[in-house]
């Protein structure tokens, strides 16, 4: 499936025949991935979202010496590649591809102090589910359920996704 407005929409489906030309004359584009130990990896984002659609939840976010709580529908952590997807729709910034950063984006936050934060991808982020069960999805795949008190860690993966790009 191809996106329509982001970093990965270089060839439209109707122009798929241009792939042969790309393979003959290309550059290599390496993209950072997120790792959630015990859960997997993601190119775009990890999303934590309360399971009850009419309730808000609280999530404690920690990295380096920073600690804050997001109260709302959820929170996501994105790579620059994923910044033009769900994070953008939730009010996050578009991040230049290749920048070694993550973005932490609250989803429909009730706290006016909760705003998107761009941080170095050298930092590990821990997210604690404080008061309601939630679903966690990596790149929109099958969700897993997290319970109150569960903690996940988000860090830069040692693996990359590699794309061949037309010159």
Q: Which two tokens stand for residue 117?
A: 């934060």
Distance CA 62, CA 151 (A): 11
Cα-to-chain-centroid distance, residue 135: 14
- Give SS3 for 19: helix
Record the pTM: 0.85
Which residue matches tokens 């939840």? 57
Q: Which two tokens stand for residue 95?
A: 């991040």
Distance CA 94, CA 102 (A): 11
Q: Give me the mean pLDDT over the 12-29 stretch.
A: 68
Query: Lowest-pLDDT range, 18-22, 87-91, 110-114?
Result: 18-22
Give residue 121's pLDDT: 97
The answer to whether 34 and 107 are in contact (CB under 8 A) is: no
Higher-confidence residue of 33 and 7: namely 33
Higher-confidence residue of 151 and 19: namely 151
């Amino acid at each position: 499936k191809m996106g329509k407005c982001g970093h990965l929409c270089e060839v439209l489906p109707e122009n798929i025949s241009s792939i042969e030309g790309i393979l003959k004359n290309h550059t290599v584009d390496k993209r950072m991935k997120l790792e959630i130990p015990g859960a997997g990896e993601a190119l775009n984002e990890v999303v934590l979202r309360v399971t009850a659609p009419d309730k808000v939840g609280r999530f404690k976010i920690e990295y380096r010496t920073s600690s804050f709580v997001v109260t709302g529908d959820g929170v996501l952590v994105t790579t620059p590649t994923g910044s033009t997807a769900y994070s953008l729709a939730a009010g996050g910034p578009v991040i230049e591809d290749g920048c070694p950063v993550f973005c932490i984006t609250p989803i429909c936050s009730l706290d006016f102090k909760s705003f998107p934060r761009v941080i170095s991808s050298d930092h590990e982020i821990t997210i604690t589910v404080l008061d309601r069960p939630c679903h966690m999805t990596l790149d929109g795949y099958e969700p897993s359920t997290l319970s109150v008190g569960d903690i996940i860690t988000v860090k830069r993966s040692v693996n990359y996704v590699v794309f061949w790009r037309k010159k």
